């Protein structure tokens, strides 16, 4: 009997130290949940999470509080989430720049929200209306075409580097602290083009303030049926997808990340949300946390290869 108690007592002592059991997950969330967007307001990550927030809040009966914490191409906000308690109450709305091979171990992938092509967007003042014309202009003016991005290492930056590499041209990268700031300068004529999230630039394209040359996916997005792909417009094989997804700190219990994932997937399946995303140029995603993790491994391997082979500065 004493030997039995010797083995069972330590287990009984440890049980209360893990509050996030399946029982706790059943009542998650018991309070508001904060989502840190590591970029300024107005960018793709910010736009998408604010679109989802009301429906997520309705399901949970708890507020989804959104906090913009920009800096260092998203790494400052990402680090803040990584250092938060692993309980599901602080999440990151991440992207290519914010979650990389260097810090992925600090996070638990929760839900891929959208994986969509970017739009090659130019100022009408550039007087270029096609990908072939852009390539010809860039070859004739090496280093003179200025393209903006949401920061070093962002998908919008890497999409431009991939384009330049495959087209055999040299372009000047102008990094910003967020897509919104880059868009402001594109509209003002301070830069020539962007590889931009559709949800950020479609209103300006539809109003005629900017021109869409192509989208960056291998095939046309459901959200952008009337915009040709770069691959079909003069650069065969080109493909670059920008994604946004939710992450929790590493070691967040799976029962919690799975519950968050199920809620997000339910919201993405809502017709009103799906319609709103497509209207903004974003393709709703679907899948489990494990599916998201597998997607990330492939995406990060692709960009790591580009960065190494072309010596791309991502900091």
Count the neighbouring beta carbons within 10 Å of the beta carbon of residue 66.
17
Same fold, 31-115+242-310 and 117-241: yes
User: What pLDDT, on a 0 to 100 scale, did the predictor assign at position 17?
Assistant: 45
Tell me whether the omega of the peptide bond preceding residue 29 falls within 30 degrees of 0, making it cis: yes
Give 117's strand partners: 241
Query: Which pLDDT belongs to residue 252?
Result: 98
Q: Tokens representing 41?
A: 């307001």
Element (H, E) at 9: helix 2-14
Kindly report the CATH class assigned to 31-115+242-310.
alpha beta
Domain boundaries, the chain: 31-115+242-310, 117-241
Q: Note the pLDDT of residue 314.
A: 83
Check residue 2 and give its pLDDT: 47
Residues 234-260 as b/e (b if ≥16 CB within 10 A, e otherwise) read: bbeebbbbbbbbbbbbeebbebbbbbb
Beta 211-215 vs 90-94: how paired, if at all?
unpaired
pLDDT tens-digit profile of 271-307?
999 999 998 888 999 999 999 999 999 999 999 999 9
Contact criterion met (CB below 8 Å) for 191 and 147: yes
What is the Cα–Cα distance from 72 to 118, expressed in whole angstroms?
22
Q: Residue 278 and residue 285: Cα distance in Å, rounded?
A: 11
Residues of the chain short of pLDDT 50, as ranges, are: 1-2, 4-9, 11-17, 20
Domain 117-241, what fold? D-Maltodextrin-Binding Protein; domain 2 (3.40.190)
Rounded to whole angstroms, the Cα distance separating 147 from 120 reads: 10
Angle between helical axes of 155-167 and 131-140 (0-180°, round to 10)? 70
């Amino acid at each position: 009997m004493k030997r039995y108690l010797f083995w069972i007592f330590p287990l009984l002592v440890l049980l209360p130290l893990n509050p996030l059991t399946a029982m706790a997950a059943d009542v998650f969330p018991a309070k508001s949940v904060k989502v840190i967007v590591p970029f300024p307001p107005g960018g793709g990550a910010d736009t998408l999470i604010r679109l989802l927030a009301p429906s997520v809040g309705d399901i949970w009966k708890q507020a989804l509080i959104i906090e913009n914490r920009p800096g260092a191409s998203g790494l400052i906000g990402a680090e803040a989430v990584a250092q938060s308690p692993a309980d599901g109450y602080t999440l990151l709305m991440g992207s290519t720049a914010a979650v990389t091979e260097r810090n992925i171990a600090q996070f638990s992938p929760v839900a891929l929200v959208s994986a969509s092509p970017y739009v090659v967007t130019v100022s009408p003042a550039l007087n270029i209306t096609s990908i072939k014309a852009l390539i010809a202009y860039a070859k004739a003016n090496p280093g003179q075409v200025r393209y903006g991005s949401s920061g070093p290492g962002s998908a919008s930056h890497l999409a431009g580097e991939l384009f330049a590499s495959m087209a055999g041209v040299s372009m000047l990268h102008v990094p910003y602290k967020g897509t919104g700031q880059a868009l402001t300068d594109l509209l003002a004529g301070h830069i020539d083009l962007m590889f931009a999230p559709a949800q950020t630039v479609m209103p300006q394209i539809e109003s005629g303030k900017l021109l869409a040359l192509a989208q960056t996916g291998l095939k046309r997005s459901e959200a952008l049926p009337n915009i040709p792909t770069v691959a079909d417009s003069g650069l065969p094989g080109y493909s670059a997808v920008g994604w946004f997804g939710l992450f929790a700190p590493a070691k967040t219990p799976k029962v919690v990340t799975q519950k968050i994932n199920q809620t997000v997937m339910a919201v993405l399946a809502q017709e009103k949300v799906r319609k709103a995303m497509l209207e903004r140029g974003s393709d709703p995603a679907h899948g489990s946390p494990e599916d998201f993790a597998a997607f990330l491994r492939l995406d990060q391997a692709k960009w790591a290869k580009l960065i190494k082979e072309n010596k791309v500065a991502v900091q």
